[in-house]
A and B are shown apart, each in its own frame.
Chain A
């Protein structure tokens, strides 16, 4: 069974640009969550999607957005990039059919803003 796939693995962008990251969840998983990992702030929850609807959002500015498609694949977008957006962005999926299943994480996308 394929795991959670995130593309691309690495990205370098310039301040002010926008970026789109992609996540393909495990087959059959309907919930996709995104996390930002930085050395200073650690792992922080960005948002969660379930059946194409954003159910929950973390404490991030509106420049961070996402969406989920009918096949459960998800994208997150960051507009007007700032240096502080440099981070590892992790996607995680869950079937949501079992309470407490937890999440399976992808390998992440390493975003560097210069």
Chain B
């Protein structure tokens, strides 16, 4: 079975500063990797995904993530955050493309 660990439960960051959210996964087979964002009282919105190919993946809203197979990691980064990036972020893996296994989430709070 696969599992996902998000290493930080809360990340406070100042506006215009960079942010990195860490995600590690475990699986004995190849996986698809995803990052989702959830704003208050809303569902999940896909930020980006890694299927294969280039290990650096660019997503929406200026986010990018790097897949590292040897470290089984898929960390999310943004070089300069805005107040509107305040939200909860979820890393997820899919092994056989039928279900997503989510990490516990990282709450990002952006302060002016």
Binding site for B on A (CB under 8 A): 4, 6, 31, 33, 35, 42-43, 45, 48, 55-56, 58, 90, 92, 96, 99-100, 102-108
- Closest residue of chain B to A108, judged by CB? B43
User: In the complex, which of the residues A99, A100, A106 contacts B43, with contact meaning CB atoms closer than 8 Å?
Assistant: A106
The answer to whether B104 touches A45 (Cβ under 8 A) is no
Q: Which of B72-112 contact A (CB under 8 A)?
A: 90, 94, 97-105
Q: A42-B104, A105-B45 are in contact. Are A55 and B32 (CB under 8 A)?
A: no
CB < 8 Å neighbour of A56 from B98, B102, B103, B105: B98
A102 & B101 in contact (Cβ 8 Å cutoff):
no
Q: Is the CB–CB distance between A42 and B43 below 8 Å?
A: no
Question: Which of A4, A48, A104, A106 makes the CB contact (< 8 A) with B98?
Answer: A48
How far is A33 from B46 in the complex, measured between Cα atoms in Å?
15
Contact B43 A103 (CB under 8 A): no
- Beyond A33-B99, A102-B49, list 4 extra A-B contacts (CB 8 Å): A33-B100, A43-B90, A56-B98, A102-B46
The answer to whether A103 and B100 touch across the interface, beta carbons within 8 angstroms, is yes
**B49 and A90 contact, CB distance less than 8 A:** no
